[in-house]
Amino acid sequence: MTKVQKGKYRIGWFSTGRDEAARDLLRAVWSSIEEGEIKAVIAFVFSNREPGEAAESDSFFELVHSYRIPLICLSSKRFKEIVGEGLRGEFEKEAMRRLEGFLPGPDLYILAGYMLIIGDEMCRRYPMINLHPAAPGGPKGTWQEVIWRLIEESAEETGVMMHLVTPQLDEGPAVTYCTFSTRGEPFDRYWDEIKGRSIAEVKRNEGDRNPIFQEIRSHGLAREFPLIIATIKAFSEGRVRIEGEMVVDSNGKPVKGYNLSGEIDQRVKGTLAK
């Protein structure tokens, strides 16, 4: 078990661990901590899957163990099979009981690929922020649902944000965000390829392999890592914090969201294929 140094900023990490992106996000933050860019520790990782449930989450758990981070697993699928209806409330009560072993709790709880909606009690108890693959005011849902909605709407801009977690899906106020254009090269030629085609046809014939889908995903994913790192850094340095249901700066002034587009663009410059 990782020993938490006194005075270190403590992070609780929530992830279903359902894909490679979940592993990459944890790797990125862990590397920034190891390199000293983020002066914090990950107190634990919580997952709503258990070992043996899926190959992807098993790979995620192996990564967590390799970093010697305490891992807490509670399968929401298995819990639902046992408890039935009323899953969220009972599941979260059990999850919070298991987290009591890490008191005093982390300073910040981060949802990074956690595929459950957080309920009222957990939102009130823990200062939680969520990584969402859209700009403020953009589509809600999973990253796949977001991208298909962007394509359906022929969106000219999208982005990534970290927002305060509330019981309403992806409705919490933005903490930090960045945006990017989905026009110009290399996007335009891919938009032209689907012109006149219905979304249903594109999904049926190509699905997630569609070039414009892949391009939007790659540009968004490239920004997720630096955004989450910049956000954690801001929290650990005291430049922003959560008070109740508000996000405030170091002077206690409410924050509507820091636009980090310029900084994030510089970080990802040259990392994406042209």
Domains and CATH numbers, the chain: 1-126 (3.40.1260), 132-274 (no CATH)
Q: Are strands 157-164 and 174-181 parallel, antiparallel or unpaired?
A: antiparallel
Q: What is the pLDDT of residue 117?
A: 82
Residue 57 binned pLDDT confidence (cut-offs 50, 70, 90): very high
3 has a pLDDT exceeding 50 = no
- Both tokens assigned to 4: 């938490």
Question: In which region does residue 245 sit, left (phi positive, over 0), alpha (psi from -120 to 50) or beta (all else)?
Answer: alpha
**Selection from 34, 30, 15 nearest residue 112 by Cα:** 15
Say how far apart CA 136 and CA 228 lie, in whole Å: 15
- What pLDDT does residue 87 have? 63
The Cα 146–Cα 269 span in angstroms is 24
- On the question of pLDDT at 219 being above 70, the answer is yes
Residue 170 confidence (pLDDT) above 80: no
CA-to-CA distance for 171 and 123, rounded, in angstroms?
A: 13
Q: What is the pLDDT of residue 229?
A: 93
pLDDT at 2 (0 to 100): 38
